[in-house]
Structure 1
Amino acid sequence: MPTSRGFEEMWRDLAPVGRSAVSGGYFRQPWSSAEGELRAWFAAECERRGLTVETDGIGNQVAWWEPDPLVEEGAPRPSRDPGVLAGSHLDSVLDGGAYDGPLGVVSALAAIDVLRDRGFAPSRPLGIGVFVEEEGSRFGRACLGSRLVTGATTWEQARELRDRDGVFLADAVVDAGLDPSAGLLSLDRVGTFVELHVEQGRDLVDRDVAVGLASEIWPHGRWRFDFAGQANHAGTTRMEDRHDPMLTYAMTALAANKQARLAGQRATFGRVAVEPNGTNAVPSLVTAWLDARASSDGALAELVASIERQAEDRAGRDGTTLTLTAESVSGSVAFDADLAARLAGLHGWPVIPTQAGHDAGILSDAGIPTAMVFVRNPTGVSHSPDEHAETADCLAGVEALADVLAELTSAPS
């Protein structure tokens, strides 16, 4: 079948890009050589299909399949109807999986192949988009590319962000061969956005179905906890004389775990930096980043506040101090319920919530009707080299996405 051959060939092309020979995981950070290779791959695949690719000043990309032009007074006239945009992202978390992001891009390309094999011709523009820095793995701002094109974040704010090596985002973009002064993608012609994504959980596994649709995204965010103490000698300083911020951090991590479990929410400290980071020294500063997610905006605020209260209490006992900074917070997102119900009715797909953030949530917040298609993940593992989806389920996702795009770009009956 052309569908299977096209999808699997593209997937094999992507497999080695940015992959660690040690862990098998992916390091596809934004504005890196691996990400540049992925941008070039996407442009080539679009050109093979006769789609013209536009790349903006920071690396966001979009390509459109235009409907046959109308003829007016002997001259062709392009469609002015709002278009349907499908797509996702190509970057990864550090040592991430193969499917988070790229599955949505490859599936969108394959879905266009399916529609053409069916002899389908869209009555409105159909596009494929790729947004940069969705994971926030380099500059700490999730969905940065889509936030910039929707105006949720300004370039003046973003350009001053630094990565772990102290590189400014503006410099990283230029070093990648891009020109920020060229401007950002316009979403003016996007009437609907559809993002296919591997499910990052086990809901579809439990339901024993290959494909589902999203109802909502839980509110979530990232907070930086700076625990400051006093550097000192690990051998000569009595335990009772120490002002050790590592103790304050350790208790805070345990408190976050407990509070999230009690409330049925999510809290994770996954990144820590220590100064001076010596084996034989009491640290002077521990900086830790909290990822917190909850079922409502109020529940998220209460979860973070409860963790902060316990951290402050412990800091008082340890003789340390705490500074808390919210770095990136996204409110709850309810996807267009009528659109989800309409698309679910195509095949009786379940409509489920997700706790993971996506570009789809940013576009939805910007007022663009948005839907998400999920493909079953047999283990539920994500953001890991063990992330996986069966080829048969991926192909089912391609067919489902093709059905959705056909439904959304068909002429009204």
Structure 2
Amino acid sequence: MSAAELLAAIADVGRDARRGGYSRHAFDRPERELRTWFVERAQRLRLDVETDRNGNLWAWWGSPGPDAVVTGSHLDSVPGGGAFDGPLGVVSALTAVEALQEKGFRPAKPVAVVVFAEEEGGRFGVPCLGSRLLTGTIDAGRARALRDPDGVTFAEAAVAAGLDAERIGSDPERLGLVGQFVELHVEQGRGLIDLGSPVAVGSTVIAHGRWRFSFAGQGNHAGATRLGDRVDPMLPAAGTVLAVRRLAQSRDDARATVGRLVPTPGGTNVIASTVDLWLDARVPGTETPELVEEIVAAARDAAGAEGCELTVTRESYSDDVVFDEPLRRALAEWLGAPPELPTGAGHDAAILAGFVPSGMLYVRNPTGISHAPDEFAEDADVEAGARALTEVLERLSK
């Protein structure tokens, strides 16, 4: 089947009737359904499928061994996300393996298609959790204790999915099997629209992180409490949202977003007792922490003015990533010198890049929109990406 046909086969899984798009999160019902689908598709290609200690799926063409050529992406989404972010890389990988098998190609190195768990952080808050656990770039104890909005820990969800919670964590033996990693992904911007190309090679990923701001005030009655008697955490939270935009605009090419704000208890006629908001900040170079310090200072001033307390917790952070230069040169040569693109979007490939030669391919998104229902890729571009990945896998595994 073509990559477009495989995407169509899973198009009804995890549709979100309220938000639009798709909501597929680590170990929830839609994501488990997609995992089952992946295993079945991989087994049709006579691939040996296994789940590692952190919930990542590996489908092996050939016996697992060192210097393996690995490709893949993820199947989870952000809340109300698009159909292509993650699954496009998975279906393209399966399509590439099938195309190579049909032409009678036999890889000289092991080839694996991987599905990483919780790439988006949509359920437990930390992006690229599966690859961070694999590489040991997040503490296993901290990961096990992460909670979803319903209070379920990552460890509890993993056990419900059949994993051993005590084995969650760094997996150097498995990481040592990866010789090179190439991830194909839908572009999450408009670079390829402007460049007029269906495919690009990734060059860099901008430094980025997530921080939680917790404002504590005094819960009270919305009708009986005079304005002058209030300690309302919603005010400094709102002030922080405005400060994020103002301060980010003062820096070249900075991106800073508050996409989630949770008041407690959340009643219409209740002054909140606490308000939590999450900041996503990304600045090229080394300036992301500096921008966050400025935002924290503005948030503390706003909290103090209302008599509230503020606690700030860093939930994740990754420095700038430059993808492996020899691999980038090879990809460009094999694919006829497509454009190179930097991105502000994080990926599992950026986590692995600190440990093994890693690279990325992007497929044109004609809307320029991602993490939303309007994310898209034309069938012709989807197939162009799958052909590019097929060429890359054949070259790397010879």
| TM-score band w.r.t. shorter chain | over 0.9
Give the conservation status (yes or no) of the 8 Å contact 2:140–2:168. no
| Matched position secondary structure for 2:238 | helix
Give the conservation status (yes or no) of the 8 Å contact 1:193–1:371. yes
Is 1:110 the equivalent of 2:103?
no
Pair 183,169 (structure 1): closer, same or farther in 2 beyond 3 Å: closer
Match of 2:350 among 361, 365, 374: 361
Residues of 2 paired with 1:243 and 1:30: CA distance? 37
Give the conservation status (yes or no) of the 8 Å contact 1:222–1:326. yes
Give the conservation status (yes or no) of the 8 Å contact 2:2–2:383. no
Kindly state the Cα deviation for residue 151 of structure 1 after the two structures are TM-superposed: 1.4
- Mapping of 1:44-193 within 5 angstroms? 44-66=40-62, 82-180=67-165, 186-193=174-181
Q: Deviations over 1:116-144 (max 9, x none)?
A: 33333222111111110111111111111
Q: 1:306: which partner in 2?
A: 294
Q: 1:73: which partner in 2?
A: none
Kindly state the Cα deviation for residue 235 of structure 1 after the two structures are TM-superposed: 2.8
State the identity as a percent: 51
Match of 2:317 among 308, 318, 329: 329
The residue type paired with residue 347 of structure 2 is H
Aligned residues: 393
Kindly state the Cα deviation for residue 62 of structure 1 after the two structures are TM-superposed: 0.7
| Matched position secondary structure for 1:262 | coil
Kindly state the Cα deviation for residue 231 of structure 1 after the two structures are TM-superposed: 2.2
Kindly state the Cα deviation for residue 23 of structure 1 after the two structures are TM-superposed: 4.6
Q: 1:391: which partner in 2?
A: 379
- Mapping of 1:275-354 within 5 angstroms? 275-297=264-286, 299-346=287-334, 347-354=336-343
The residue type paired with residue 326 of structure 1 is R
The residue type paired with residue 257 of structure 1 is R
Q: Deviations over 1:63-99 (max 9, x none)?
A: 1212xxxxxxxxxxx7966111000011111111110
Residues of 1 paired with 2:68 and 2:95: CA distance? 18
**Alignment TM-score, normalising by the size of structure 1:** 0.91
Is 1:31 the equivalent of 2:27?
yes
| Matched position secondary structure for 2:250 | helix
Match of 2:37 among 41, 47, 50: 41
Q: CA RMSD in A?
A: 1.7
Kindly state the Cα deviation for residue 162 of structure 1 after the two structures are TM-superposed: 1.2
Pair 23,165 (structure 1): closer, same or farther in 2 beyond 3 Å: closer
Give the conservation status (yes or no) of the 8 Å contact 2:69–2:112. yes
Residues of 2 paired with 1:318 and 1:22: CA distance? 35
Give the conservation status (yes or no) of the 8 Å contact 2:204–2:323. yes
Give the conservation status (yes or no) of the 8 Å contact 1:96–1:383. yes
Q: 1:72: which partner in 2?
A: none
- Mapping of 1:12-27 within 5 angstroms? 12-27=8-23
Q: 2:5: which partner in 1?
A: 9
Residues of 2 paired with 1:253 and 1:206: CA distance? 31
Residues of 2 paired with 1:136 and 1:267: CA distance? 17
Kindly state the Cα deviation for residue 198 of structure 1 after the two structures are TM-superposed: 0.3
Is 1:406 the equivalent of 2:391?
no
Residues of 1 paired with 2:274 and 2:17: CA distance? 34
Residues of 2 paired with 1:80 and 1:140: CA distance? 33
Pair 241,154 (structure 1): closer, same or farther in 2 beyond 3 Å: closer
| Matched position secondary structure for 2:315 | strand
Residues of 2 paired with 1:317 and 1:362: CA distance? 40
Q: 1:70: which partner in 2?
A: none
Runs of 5+ consecutive residues of structure 1 not aligned to the other structure: 67-77
Residues of 1 paired with 2:318 and 2:101: CA distance? 38
Give the conservation status (yes or no) of the 8 Å contact 2:144–2:165. no
Pair 81,32 (structure 1): closer, same or farther in 2 beyond 3 Å: closer
Match of 1:213 among 196, 201, 207: 201
Match of 2:244 among 256, 260, 269: 256
Runs of 5+ consecutive residues of structure 2 not aligned to the other structure: none
Match of 1:222 among 197, 202, 210: 210
Residues of 2 paired with 1:9 and 1:276: CA distance? 45
303-312 vs 233-242, which moves further:
233-242
| Matched position secondary structure for 2:95 | helix
Kindly state the Cα deviation for residue 22 of structure 1 after the two structures are TM-superposed: 4.8
Kindly state the Cα deviation for residue 183 of structure 1 after the two structures are TM-superposed: 6.3
**Alignment TM-score, normalising by the size of structure 2:** 0.94
Give the conservation status (yes or no) of the 8 Å contact 2:133–2:168. no
Residues of 2 paired with 1:8 and 1:275: CA distance? 43
Residues of 2 paired with 1:151 and 1:139: CA distance? 17
Residues of 2 paired with 1:151 and 1:109: CA distance? 27
The residue type paired with residue 140 of structure 2 is W
The residue type paired with residue 273 of structure 1 is V
Kindly state the Cα deviation for residue 301 of structure 1 after the two structures are TM-superposed: 1.1
| Matched position secondary structure for 1:288 | strand
Pair 21,324 (structure 1): closer, same or farther in 2 beyond 3 Å: closer
Q: 1:378: which partner in 2?
A: 366
Give the conservation status (yes or no) of the 8 Å contact 1:33–1:176. no
Kindly state the Cα deviation for residue 199 of structure 1 after the two structures are TM-superposed: 0.5
